[in-house]
Amino acid sequence: MIRRMQPGDLDQILQLWFRVNRQAHFYLPKEYFEKHMAPVRQALLHSEVHVQEAGGKIQGFIGLMDHYIAGIFVDSSVRSQGIGRNLLEAAKKNHRSLTLHVYQRNIRAVRFYLREGFSISQYLWEAETGLAEWAMEWRKNPALQ
């Protein structure tokens, strides 16, 4: 079931955020994510967050700030089962366009977003990590609005 984040979900979401980031971005040191835990906690409280839950366990979530996707995170034990796509579809229903940034090295995520109708709009360089990123965007088909 996909639903809006509730205050009691925050700790479970943060643990999932940390775990999935460490797996997906293995090329960044653990300390990078530890340093960002407190700011991410605050950002989650002020963002639109939808979670996929089954049996009381959060399997994945999507965080949005207006039309910007801050991230989609799915637990590795349930990856490739459509959870990321379901979360993204929930966001697409409420937005005419969506944007995001993704590390170029995160090939799995880049392929996912391309498959889901996003296009690469800009090449970026993230100063803090020194890593190349893609800015990507999706626009709702006007015929479907």
Place of tokens 């579809």: 89
How far is Cα 32 from Cα 28, in angstroms, rounded to an integer? 7
Contact 100, 113 (CB under 8 A): yes
Contact 140, 95 (CB under 8 A): yes
What pLDDT does 145 receive?
A: 55
Domains of the chain in sequence order: 2-144 (3.40.630.30)
Residue found by looking up tokens 């002020």 in the block? 46
φ/ψ of 5, rounded to 5, equals: -60, 140
pLDDT tens series, the chain, 145 aa: 899 999 899 999 999 999 999 999 999 999 999 999 999 999 999 999 999 999 889 999 999 999 999 999 999 898 888 999 999 999 999 899 999 999 999 999 999 999 999 999 999 999 999 999 999 999 987 765 5
pLDDT in tens, 105-122: 999 999 999 999 999 999
